[in-house]
Amino acid sequence: YVQLQGIIPALITPYEDDGRISDKRTRELVRHLISQGVAGFYLSGSTGEGFLQTVEERQSFLEIVMDEVKSEVPVIAHVGAMDTATAVVLTKHAYGAGATAVSAVTPFYYKHGSEQIKRHYIDIAEAADIPLIAYHFPDMTGSKQSADFYRELSAVDGIIGLKFTSMNTYEMQQIMDVCGEDFLVFNGPDESCLAGLAMGAFGAIGSTYNIMPAKFVEMHRLFRQGRIDEARAVQYEVNRVINELMKYDFIAFEREILRLQGFDTGLPRKPIQQLSDAQRADIRETAARFPF
């Protein structure tokens, strides 16, 4: 899995103007991001709007990306869903499509006990011979599992790691400590990427790597070389852009920035924020101040 040790965009799903998933625009964005040095792709998670798409759309999107990537970098397919059956169908498909790994957010909406959540993960892990990366995102799912829970998961055959999307790097460290070195933990919040790496995250999966790939790849390289002061300066720089992003829905903001960078990805699906002309003008001004 050494290839996953780097900056992995949670890929925006490019749509056509009529809202259908775009084959051409997907290939263009994937090519561009590979040229910027990203370590792989994470598909159909929060950023990818997987929960706003049909199972068939998620499957066909993975197939397009796999075809374009041609094994140059690893591809992680997010297969998470509210129900186990859908996650299992998507996992079998991802295995067949040749994805490197699957990942699944804790089942959301209903308040399940940790035994049920563990069962959900075991069912996914048993669905196909493909590694599984769990996904901890308490702010979005309302499901907050303990380090002990992840220790149990890490003992399950096929569950190789965790995408940890929370600012609490202490909690992340506690999980890494009990799960052991072979359990790969990926940093979720881009605004504290350097802190996550410093605490021991194996790699980083995030949304703003779609719009600032080169900056984060550079930060990661500096970190690996032990040039922490320089890496920190890059983190400060990208965080000024993330501060602007916070004024909007992050997906709406990132699609607008990508459009300004020459990658039209269409509009996010409703109910995600649809930007007004004034908001677009404001984002255009941000993009001009941060030309990367």
Active-site amino acid positions: 135, 163
Q: Of 74 and 188, which has the nearer Cβ to ligand NAY? A: 188
Least Å distance, CB 163 to ligand NAY, is 7
| Nearest C-alpha neighbor of 11 from the set 72, 71, 70, 58 | 58
Radius of gyration, CA atoms only, the chain: 18
**271 prior amide bond cis, ω within 30:** yes
- Enter the DSSP assignment of 212: S
Q: Of 17 and 205, which has the nearer Cβ to ligand NAY? A: 205
Q: Of 60 and 165, which has the nearer Cβ to ligand NAY? A: 165
- Whether the CB-CB separation of 201 and 185 falls below 8 Å is answered with yes
**Interface residue with ligand NAY, options 206, 213, 266, 268 (CB under 6 A):** 206
Token couple for 107: 């089942």
Q: Amino acid identity of 113? A: G
Binding to ligand NAY in span 43-72, by CB under 6 A? 45-48
Half-sphere exposure of 86 (CA within 13 A, CB side): 18
Q: Of 1 and 248, which has the nearer Cβ to ligand NAY? A: 248
Residue 90 engages ligand NAY in binding (rule: CB under 6 A): no
Residue 208 engages ligand NAY in binding (rule: CB under 6 A): yes
Stretch near ligand NAY under the rule CB under 6 A, chosen from 94-102, 122-130, 189-197, 228-236: 189-197
Q: How far apart are CA 187 and CA 189, in angstroms?
A: 6
Q: How far apart are CA 204 and CA 62, in angstroms?
A: 20
Binding to ligand NAY in span 247-266, by CB under 6 A? 250
Binding to ligand NAY in span 98-137, by CB under 6 A? none
Q: Which positions touch ligand NAY (CB under 6 A)?
A: 10, 45-48, 165, 188-191, 205-208, 242, 250
